[in-house]
Amino acid sequence: MIPLRIMKFIVIAEKGFQQNFVYLASHGINTVASAVFGLIYISLWRSVVPPSGFGDYSQVTIAQYIAFNQVILWFVQFGIRMHVRISQAVRTGNIAEELLRPVSYFWYRMSQEAGVITYNLLFRGIPVGLLLAFVSFHIPRNPFVWLWSIVAVALAGYIGLVLYYLVGITSFWATEIRTAYWVVANLSLGLGGASMPLEVLPDAVEKVARLSPFACLCYYPARIYLGLSGPDLIWYSVFWSIALTLLAQFATGRARARLEVQGG
């Protein structure tokens, strides 16, 4: 028996999942476009990586790295619109009603968006992987690699949600959040290793990127999935999941207090 307080968040996630079926045809077009971009990235990297490879990456491995990230990008970054939903609620005043609901606002938003990104992975990300499989894709044979990869990707999706939740919550203090969004989005792509391994960055930048939450989005899951690193990398994701959750809860409390002080 699932406790009621957990069951209500599962229902919210289901609603977030189901609402996307309205845009199924549009998402199919996006899926094809994402696969095309993946092919471009793979071709580009195959042309610049020497036959002997670099570091842990051969020409084949780098193609598999790019293909895997094109799949999980729909889960960890693409399609996450939480910041827009929060900003619109603040702008229209609906946020006052949402905060009155007898559920945690943070977990309400996280549950709803979790349903959305699960849909993105199943109906947008995995089809991209199937299309790219004709060019290059890695299938682990070790069941434990699958297990730790699933854990790493799940934590990556969670971290991505919290990052964009934090962007959205800034709308309580700022009239425009586009700057905050573009900063987080570009850092996620640049320091997250979505389109390139972090090893190609300058040493100082690479060290910072590895310690940042952005590396948990694509770089660490990809290395675990490809068997280039062990599951110990997951501890970075666990740390950032906890740290960002505490920060988000703190920001939510401050936002609620600000709304109440100003009259709701």
Please state which of the ranges 29-43, 165-179, 214-228 shows the lowest mean pLDDT: 29-43
Residue 102 DSSP label: S
Amino acid at position 178, single letter: R
Q: What is the dihedral of CA 27, 127, 63, 44, to 10 degrees?
A: -30
> 3-class SS at 57?
strand
Task: Name beta bridge partners: 54.
Answer: 57
**Phi, psi dihedral angles at 49 (to 5 degrees):** -80, 125
Confidence of residue 262 (pLDDT cuts 50, 70, 90): low
User: Considering just the CA atoms, what is the radius of gyration of the chain in Å?
Assistant: 19
Whole-angstrom CA distances from 123 to 20, 126, 237 are: 10, 6, 25
Residue 243 has pLDDT above 90, yes or no: yes
Residue 198 DSSP label: G
The structure's pTM equals: 0.92
CA–CA distance, 162 with 33 (Å, rounded to integer): 27
172-195 pLDDT tens trace? 998 889 999 999 999 998 899 988
- pLDDT for the residue numbered 131: 87
Cβ–Cβ under 8 Å, residues 145 and 206: no
CA–CA distance, 217 with 71 (Å, rounded to integer): 12
- pLDDT for the residue numbered 217: 96
Confidence of residue 163 (pLDDT cuts 50, 70, 90): very high
- pLDDT for the residue numbered 24: 62
Residue 23 has pLDDT above 80, yes or no: no
102-131 pLDDT tens trace? 889 999 999 999 999 998 898 888 888 888
* Domain ranges within the chain, ordered by starting residue: 4-261
Average pLDDT over residues 13-40: 75
